[in-house]
Amino acid sequence: MTARLAVAFLALAWAAGAPAFEPHRFALLVGAPSAGWGTPRLRFAERDARRMREVLERLGGVREEDARLLLSPTAAEVRKALGELAARSSAARARGEETLLLLYYSGHAKDGELRLESTRLSFDELRAELREAPADVRIGIVDSCQAGAIARPKGVRRAPTFDVSRASSPGPQGLVLIASSAADEDSQESDAIGASYFTHYFASGLMGDADASGDGKVTLAEAYAYAYGRTVGSTAGTALGVQHPVYLYDLGGAGDVVLTDLAPAAGGIVFPEGLEGEYVILDRSHRAVAEVAKTGGRARRLALAPGQYTVKKRLPSETGLLVGNVSVGTAPVTLDEARMERLPLSRDPQKGFGGARWSMLAGFGGQIFFDSAARSGLFPPAALGGIEVMVRDDLGHGLAWGFDAALGGGSSSLSLSGLPPMAVRFGELSGGTTIWKDFDAGPFTFSAGLRLAFIFLARSFPGRTDQLPDQHFFTVTPGAVGAASWRFTPSLAAVARLRLNYLFYDIDQKMNLGYAEAMLGVEYAFGQ
């Protein structure tokens, strides 16, 4: 209840009428998925940071040159970037400009410290840096476990009461810290939405769903209030329990802090007055990019970047879904539910999406050409060992792509008519990239896809090096890939893979050859 009152207070304080505050904005966006050895890698921390940058640059008035995106940085790199932005802010103030400095962090935190790879940045230091930063308004948004500790420092003072008589005074000044969870709570990521809950709703709010006043501008208070409510609501039923965002408000002066202005982004999806319900907007990869909790009575526009989107609405009582595709350009597109398709819940386009998942496969196998003449002459069967690094659900739901490399070889005897058999030692190096689709069947996954690879073959003739020079061959080989895997632990799967490749050979004569590569291996999934 206390939190709700605080939100209401904050919203009221900031929503009051005041002169426009149009500061020069600087933003530092940090995505830190790794906290070093032994800590699970966060799947969406980097995506969260990218997403916030996109929203702030597109709608938040942050110029590209004034934004810094740091992915998997160290504490020193964060300090340096923050210092650079502070210096730019100081220079802007010296020119007479009002300034706003925003720091966003998505990543690990524990025991009062941000954890960036193997380095640490304490909340106290971060808070002090922001408090002392040469900007009129400093905003820190921390989306991490136990983030609330940053918002409960000793000596915090309550926000000053809003004074109408200062309406003509300079704009707001001070520090606002927003944390995605309380000091004793974990912040959660969602496989379904492919983001952390808090950032997902905060960004959705900035795109328009938090515009409670309907004035086409999303203020800091509106965005926080919206993200608070949606985060609490969405995490209430999770295994880790409800997550309560908190804030520290230390802002004086007059006016409001507008974080995004929807007006310049003329495009987007308009949810007309009559629509009600919760809508999820998915990009072409079926990743959630925004949500709208629509109530009747007033239209709402979500300022999306131009592109193709899928809009999903869950129907009441779990009776199904409405799903429709929307093409957003430079003009608003009004959502028409009558043109959306009704689907069963089992066909939820968002279902099961877990974000990009990285894994590595190592295995051994062999290679054999189908043509018997090639097999007994130029391309004898070879043993292969290889690795593959792959990422699933990055290009789209159920889609995967990866890079592979293999090394192999063997020895054989080459027989040419009229010549005595000669010993041959051969080796090969191949590498390629594959895109495939997975089909899950319980603990088994079957995959089919296409691969484009290169192959480098070399052979030598032991004991004949004075007479027969070494030979080599390089070409590109397209092919198809099929695989079956059995996941026997969350991180490990046994994989059987078959590749069918085409090889064009034109040294002696033009030949269209095919060969197969079979491999058995073990796949390790990172972050499971």
Nearer to other proteins, 298 or 464 (CB): 464
Closest CA to 354 of 200, 193, 493: 193
Give the DSSP H or E segment for 2: helix 2-15
Q: Which one of 17-25, 78-86, 273-281, 504-512 is the stretch in contact with other proteins (CB under 8 A)?
A: 504-512
Q: How far is the CB of 437 from other proteins (least distance, A)?
A: 24
| Binding residues for other proteins restricted to 387-416, rule: CB under 8 A | 414, 416
Rounded Cα–Cα distance for residues 206 and 29 (Å): 15
Nearer to other proteins, 492 or 500 (CB): 500
The answer to whether 288 and 253 have CB atoms below 8 angstroms apart is no
377 binds other proteins (CB under 8 A): yes
Rounded Cα–Cα distance for residues 225 and 97 (Å): 29
Rounded Cα–Cα distance for residues 479 and 459 (Å): 24
Residues in the interface with other proteins (CB under 8 A) total 28
Q: How far is the CB of 424 from other proteins (least distance, A)?
A: 10
Rounded Cα–Cα distance for residues 174 and 141 (Å): 14
Which one of 476, 491, 520, 528 is in contact with other proteins (CB under 8 A)? 476
Nearer to other proteins, 110 or 375 (CB): 375
Q: How far is the CB of 474 from other proteins (least distance, A)?
A: 5
Q: How far is the CB of 435 from other proteins (least distance, A)?
A: 17
Nearer to other proteins, 317 or 467 (CB): 467
Closest CA to 501 of 512, 518, 515: 515
∠ CA 194-234-144 to the nearest 5 degrees? Answer: 60
1 binds other proteins (CB under 8 A): no
Rounded Cα–Cα distance for residues 323 and 310 (Å): 7
First to last CA, the chain: 36
Q: How far is the CB of 236 from other proteins (least distance, A)?
A: 54
CB atoms within 10 A of CB 300: 23
| Binding residues for other proteins restricted to 416-475, rule: CB under 8 A | 416-420, 422, 457, 459, 466-469, 471-475
Q: How far is the CB of 423 from other proteins (least distance, A)?
A: 13
Q: How far is the CB of 417 from other proteins (least distance, A)?
A: 8
Nearer to other proteins, 318 or 508 (CB): 508
In a 3-state reduction of DSSP, which class is residue 284? coil
In single-letter form, the type of residue at position 195 comes to: A
Please state at what angle helix 197-204 crosses helix 220-235, rounded to 10 degrees.
Answer: 140
Nearer to other proteins, 318 or 506 (CB): 506
Nearer to other proteins, 65 or 466 (CB): 466
Q: How far is the CB of 514 from other proteins (least distance, A)?
A: 14
Locate all alpha helices (DSSP H) within 333-399, ordered by sequence.
372-376
In a 3-state reduction of DSSP, which class is residue 287? coil
In a 3-state reduction of DSSP, which class is residue 223? helix
- What is the maximal distance between C-alpha atoms in the chain? 107
500 binds other proteins (CB under 8 A): no
Q: In a 10 Å sphere around its CB, with 0-12 CB exposed, 13-18 middle and 19+ buried, how is residue 7 labelled?
A: buried
Nearer to other proteins, 305 or 368 (CB): 368
Q: How far is the CB of 419 from other proteins (least distance, A)?
A: 5
3-state helix, strand, coil in the chain (%, to 5): 20, 45, 35
String marking each residue 334-373 x if it binds other proteins according to CB under 8 A: ----------------------------------------
The answer to whether 381 and 375 have CB atoms below 8 angstroms apart is yes
Nearer to other proteins, 161 or 417 (CB): 417
Q: How far is the CB of 390 from other proteins (least distance, A)?
A: 23
Nearer to other proteins, 389 or 468 (CB): 468
Rg of the chain over all Cα atoms, to the nearest angstrom: 29
| Binding residues for other proteins restricted to 507-526, rule: CB under 8 A | 507-508
Nearer to other proteins, 396 or 514 (CB): 514
Q: How far is the CB of 409 from other proteins (least distance, A)?
A: 14
Q: Which residues bind other proteins (CB under 8 A)?
A: 377-378, 414, 416-420, 422, 457, 459, 466-469, 471-476, 478, 503-508
